[in-house]
Chains A and B, each alone.
Chain A
């Protein structure tokens, strides 16, 4: 009884103190500041010091004139990109690919982690989990190569189709298949690796909770739904917020390898388009400007996602 009262007193005292400003906080929690100081220094030295490079997005960067003396051109590069006839299409494709990748790719690792978690510890669990992340290590080139072989005119899939009396499908020549293939291969590659994080969190769940639920009559599925899932909810939320920012970040390499011009309608994304421009005319400033635009959009997406999550009372970044 006494302890609880004492705890309450100390808690309220703490809260009262923290209202009196940063300097007081510094004195009270100097250890915390001490702890974070070296990390903050590291960030400053390695990530903030080089950040001035961004200014060339507003300049016409010349390698010899350098960052300081290259002429300012304001928003020229941004405007040039915005005026491009394909700007709407390219941005649209990027967002659609990114959004659907998130929509379809976000939950399979969670499901996998939950399923794996239900398996008794032992060889099957270990081997399955280990094998599941192998695809993460294959380079994109190999994956696209394998996909093209499997889906080619003489590939596995078309052989099946022919056996069932259907015509072969030219998967890589038709814009409507591209998104599906892109997303499916992304899921295949990432499901095991992304599930590691969830598995780790799941392993920290108190076993007694499961036992208590069992006693209360919950069946297997309910135990997963009401205990396992909520226990990784904070992680899920945070990752969802972070991945929302990545919608704009559709990777260049895979799209480039998978596509040919006939697929541009759905497959031409910001990065591939800018790449083609870069072949004609190597322009550091232009590429940096587009990159900056991407970063700003990503950050905005993050901000919105975080805002929504905070409003709903869930875990959030800040």
Chain B
């Protein structure tokens, strides 16, 4: 069937491109600004002279971030935690989503409510810590990776997609003698690649940026992920500042130092977002429009 775009369709396209380009511009502008701050001369940065493009090129900020011994190791740690955690999250969420998507599963509502409650109520950091401690998981990767693997939000999103798999497909599989495991692995999951990829993205980003759990549960610094190392490098000026920190310090008195701090803060953003941007194109191919397996005819 040949597709002849009408005039209205072309106008739609043009308008679409314009809107999207405007959006990109409104996002790109601040990012270019932030990148400029991260590579501009420290003095210019400190005096707020950098408005859009860099003034004076320096890579000190990035060098500082990467020069730390721990940075490379922490990168590896983050990758480890993220990959293990993502696999577990997708696996467990799917295992829960499938039964919850089957209408015949009588205990459905019960489980949903039990799981949903955990989205709102939690006991606080001390019981959380004591719990992990009693399980013997302190200073292991499991403390970081297991709790977020059981997240109702992911389960709900996957379940919603599972529910859109045509009932007839599944019925015919039952007829052929398949059990639920087979249906899950051979029919439903392959059809849900997009949502699984999405959950994988959500889970990975959550784990990649995870800061407080490693802070509380990991005691040896060899296991620290990137977030911790970056925060250590960055002279924290966030939320809770206090004036009592001021004392005579030739280093902090110089403007260059102030500027260096700001550059490092911007650099950490790019260091964090870098791997995500690199990996994401591989995820995007799951979002390409596909055709459903044509098993519905007849």
| Direct touch of chains A and B (CB < 8 A) | yes
- Please report the C-alpha to C-alpha distance between residue A182 and residue B222 in the assembled complex, in whole angstroms: 39
A16-58 near B? 1/0 per residue, CB < 8 Å: 0010001001001101110110111011011111111110100
Flag whether B246 is at the interface (Cβ < 8 A).
Answer: no
Contact status A196-B124, CB under 8 Å = no
A203, CB-defined interface residue at 8 Å: yes
Chain B interface main SS type: helix
Identify which of residues 273-318 in chain A touch chain B, using a CB-to-CB cut-off of 8 Å: 284, 288, 292, 295-296, 298-299, 302, 315, 317-318
Q: Is B248 an interface residue (CB 8 A)?
A: no
The docked-state distance in angstroms from the alpha carbon of A207 to that of B289 is 8
Q: Which residues of B contact A257 (CB under 8 A)?
A: 239
- Known A42-B149, A50-B122, A54-B123; contact A29-B180, beta-carbon cutoff 8 A: yes
Bound: A299/B119 CA distance, A: 9
Interchain nearest-CB distance for B187 vs A (Å): 14
Task: Report the nearest A residue to B291, measured CB to CB.
Answer: A207
Q: Is the CB of B198 within 8 A of A22?
A: no
Q: How far is the CA of A37 from the CA of B114 in the complex (A)?
A: 13
Is the C-beta of B127 less than 8 angstroms from some C-beta in chain A? yes
Which residues of chain B from 73 to 117 have any CB-CB distance to chain A below 8 Å in the complex?
A: 92-93, 95-96, 98-100, 102, 104-109, 111-117
Residue of A nearest to B31 (CB): A134
Inter-chain contact B98/A53, CB cutoff 8 Å: no
In the complex, the answer to whether B20 meets A116 with C-beta atoms within 8 Å is yes
> In this complex, what residue of A is CB-closest to B23?
A132
Q: Is A84 an interface residue (CB 8 A)?
A: no
**A170 at the A/B interface (Cβ < 8 Å)?**
no
Residues of A within 8 A of B172 (CB): 7
User: A199 at interface (Cβ–Cβ under 8 A)?
Assistant: yes
Q: B115 to chain A: which residues have CB within 8 Å?
A: 43
Most buried by A among B209, B265, B276, B284: B284
- Which residues does chain B contribute within 8 Å of A163, judged by CB atoms? none
Q: Which single member of A121, A127, A234 contacts B160 (CB below 8 Å)?
A: A234
Which residues on the A side are within 8 Å of B31 (C-beta)?
131, 134
CB-based contact A10/B175 at 8 Å: yes
Please state if A256 and B239 are interface contacts (CB–CB under 8 Å): yes
Q: Which residues of B contact A205 (CB under 8 A)?
A: 289
Instruction: Give chain A nearest CB distance to B295 CB in angstroms.
Output: 12
Identify the stretch in A71-79, A93-101, A208-216 within 8 Å (CB) of chain B at 4 or more residues: A208-216
B73 CB to closest chain A CB, in angstroms? 22
* B110-164 with Cβ < 8 A to chain A: 111-124, 126-128, 130-131, 135, 146-147, 149-150, 153, 155-157, 160-161, 163-164
Contact for B120 among A46, A219, A288, A298, CB less than 8 A? A298
Contact A36 B122, beta carbon cutoff 8 Å = no
Asked whether, in the complex, the Cβ of A118 is within 8 Å of the Cβ of B12, the reply is yes
- In whole Å, how far is B117's beta carbon from the nearest beta carbon of chain A? 7
| B195 interface residue per 8 A CB criterion | yes
Nearest residue (CB) in B for A118 is B16
B156–A137 CB distance below 8 A: no
Q: How far is the CA of A67 from the CA of B164 in the complex (A)?
A: 46
CA distance A45 to B147 in the complex (A): 9
Does chain A have a CB within 8 A of B34?
yes
- A144–B117 Cα distance when bound, in Å, is 33
Nearest-neighbour CB distance to chain A for B171, whole angstroms, equals 6
- Per the bound structure, the CA–CA distance linking A38 and B33 in Å amounts to 48
| Residue A226 CB within 8 A of the other chain | no
Listed in ascending order, the chain A residues whose CB lies under 8 Å from chain B are 6-7, 10-11, 14, 18, 22, 25, 28-29, 31-33, 35-36, 38-40, 42-43, 45-54, 56, 67, 112, 115-119, 121, 124, 126-132, 134-135, 137-139, 141-142, 146, 149, 188, 191-192, 196-197, 199-208, 211, 214-215, 219-221, 234-235, 238, 242, 245, 253, 256-257, 284, 288, 292, 295-296, 298-299, 302, 315, 317-318
